Structure 1
């Protein structure tokens, strides 16, 4: 044991060597420095990651990279009833936003709320455009139920779309209890045909439509100032000419307010 101790404490020349002294303060400082470097590195990595995420979010959602340009909005299916400019104005409300934030559903919903629009689709065209396609026609009439719902129908009584709180300017409104049942009624279908055949100017003056039977279609004009009894949908060209002549000539209509042209060659003015 003594010999082993002497060997460990003896240098290469047989001279006794001093044992190594460990500087604990220096080791503590080194460890603290290493820990500090590790913390700094982790913080730097975290900051870099956050900056990268923020950069990506900004680029995708707020930069011009994917911004919708109103000049790159294309419209198909527009016509005299629903103009291309009207469709563009609805879609352009989303212009300036990133396409990732643009709601095509909002655009489609607004378009579908226009009477006569039976189909509307909005498709994003990256990086800056949008394609909007619609199918629309001027309704022959609007069927209004007691709850205020409006259903647009064409001249053959086919449903175009259903809306609420929509403008009915220029579209005659027929009040019904049930849309499905009314479209199976000859009186309602005949009333639709009658108002569809009227000129735009006269359609705009229609304030009420009634039809007890298919041979007694009646419209009120100018909020009830005139009542026109059309009868059925036959000879409408002649009936319209007779009505126009009567109500637009003060010497003929006088102080009367009712015109019956169910027999157009023998109109009755009351």
Structure 2
């Protein structure tokens, strides 16, 4: 009797193939005499669950750890601007911006008010200044002179009147002082306004120190700077005769050297000077009168080191001899 063939049994450990899925299962037919079971009620589809962001330690289901999620990349991209009616771009409500531009801001209004106030103030000041300049009450009417002695007042008024005109507000006091200072005998000047319609000119006259006799025989009163003064400056003054030697090759230099010596000489010694002579800038001779009635001649030399030479002369006045040579004050000689 022949054996039936048997299907081979799978080996232990071998994996059986999974049955192929069937698209639709066959509907079972109930046996006769039985009622057909009610079809199962269809359940509603499950609601989509909100995707929660996976935790950094747990990778989302269905993708490999370490690979970025495409949905996350899409969510990080900037949203495209909404298309306008014609596809021109995003529509922005600008009514608030236009309202601010039209209405203005409080600080802008305050700034306009401040600027307007400043402009009005400036205009008022300018108008007041222009009006004051042309007021008849502020026009210069008088010139007052103070400090004049041997300098004539009419000369000072004439020099000041060239610029002392117009409104007192525009008076050039510095220019007036410069014009008056050019008058011989005026050492310093101060000009100032006298409200409402005047100007005051105060002068200080130069002090005369000597009577200069020039090589041609003419004389002139001179001050310590060698400037010639008006003849009236010597009236009632004790002047030292300054003589330029006849035949001098440099009479102007000799006169300047003598006045410089007198200007640098201290007052106690200047009071004892009887006469000063010179023929050049470097050979000034000074004649001194002593208290005992005698006299001495000082070979002064040039006008340099006037203070040192005066101290040496005072120290040597009691020494014997009639001549003191201080042309080199560090090595004086008496004879």
TM-score range, shorter chain: 0.3 to 0.5
Q: Return the structure number with greater helix share.
A: 1
Q: State TM-score, norm by structure 2.
A: 0.36
TM-score for both structures, normalised by structure 1: 0.43
